[in-house]
Amino acid sequence: MAEAKFSELFIIKMSTNGKKQVLFTTCLSNNFSNITLSKTFVIEVPMIYLLPFILLSFLSCRPETGPLRFKDKSIVFKETKLEVDEEDNHHLEYLENLKKDYESDLNKLSINAVKSFEPIKKIMKRKCFDCHDSREKLPIYGRVFPRINPVKKHQDEGLVALDMAKTYPLQAKGNPPQLALLKAIKAAVLDKTMPLKSYLVVYPLKRISKKNQVAILAWVDPLIREHERIDEAYQELFFQDSLQGKVQNLFKKKCLRCHGSGNNRGNFGDMEKLSELLQRKKYVDLEEPTRSLIYKVSLSGEMPTDPREKLSEEELQLMLDWIQEARNLEE
């Protein structure tokens, strides 16, 4: 940048009706840095000559061609609105690469899940697919009077909870996280809640044996561990710092499979709609957060139904803080 100096400074005293009223200065230079004066003039002129002199002043003081720049580097002008700081560019590039790695790891996990499913495919077909594979056809007695047929109803409910037609990724109503579905399979096998007892009365050979249990867990457990590793490794992609964001993540992992995204087990759903949930006085007590039903059933371990997924002290406190924050906003 050129270091031009002020060569001349004119001080003009403007007179109206013989009275000096305004002091106006002008310069013959094209820069604003390192001001040095070599000459100073004081000229008294009538008001009538003011306009052309101001025009000459602005033309002489205009900056060099190009963007205006200052020596103070704390003042930065971007040449376009779309320009991003170099640091931001690096961060965006980093996140983009991280996302690609995340998708690559998930793809590898899916391929491995399908391959490792082969040893238990026959077991799952015999024990589970009647109700959890949309490709399976019901026997003829399950297809008559479909609106009132309990067998048809049972299959429909099973497919809403879990559909293994594509083996992996697992499917279910509301698209809950794969980790949640895998943990649900593990819980059902360990607790022997599936197949249903009413189903086993008619089909006793569908009962899952100890050997079957070991084989199914040998497929599920490694997938659970790998999903947890991936979630930990790429949490930067999905981390939400706000209290509401953290609660949303908590509900997604522990609750929405049964109570959100269209699922309303126990006639309780739409937990993903946090603002609406806070207004449902049956479940949330803004006056006394510890009396909120969603908190009490979580504290007692009644929900989630799988005791292995019981909310930790930190997660319970997070729920209370969220309700308390909503209360403070209303006051």
pLDDT tens-digit profile of 287-321?
A: 999 999 999 999 999 999 888 889 999 999 999 99
Per-residue pLDDT for 325 more than 70? yes
What residues contact 201, with CB distance under 8 A and at least 6 apart?
none
Mean pLDDT across the stretch 127-137? 93
Per-residue pLDDT for 88 more than 60? yes
With cut-offs at 50, 70 and 90, classify the pLDDT of residue 52. Answer: low
Residue entry with tokens 């924050």: 325
Instruction: Look at residue 244 in the predicted model and tell me its pLDDT.
Output: 86
Q: What is the pLDDT of residues 198-231, one digit of tens each?
A: 889 888 999 999 999 999 999 999 999 999 999 8
Whole-number Å distance between alpha carbons of 127 and 139: 15
The answer to whether 117 touches 100, Cβ cutoff 8 Å, is no
CB atoms within 10 A of CB 5: 12
CA distances from 126 to 114, 131, 159, 196 (A): 18, 11, 16, 14
Q: Which range is least confidently modeled, 21-25, 94-98, 288-292?
A: 21-25
Instruction: Look at residue 50 in the predicted model and tell me its pLDDT.
Output: 58
Residue ranges of domains in the chain: 9-61, 87-237, 240-330
For the chain, give the mean pLDDT.
Answer: 80
The answer to whether 270 touches 277, Cβ cutoff 8 Å, is yes
**Residue 11's beta-bridge partner residues?**
25, 42
Report the predicted TM-score, pTM, of the whole model to 2 decimal places: 0.65
Helices then strands, each counted (H, E), the chain: 15, 3
Instruction: Look at residue 16 in the predicted model and tell me its pLDDT.
Output: 45
Residue entry with tokens 């997660």: 315
The answer to whether 113 touches 167, Cβ cutoff 8 Å, is yes
CB atoms within 10 A of CB 271: 24
Instruction: Look at residue 330 in the predicted model and tell me its pLDDT.
Output: 78
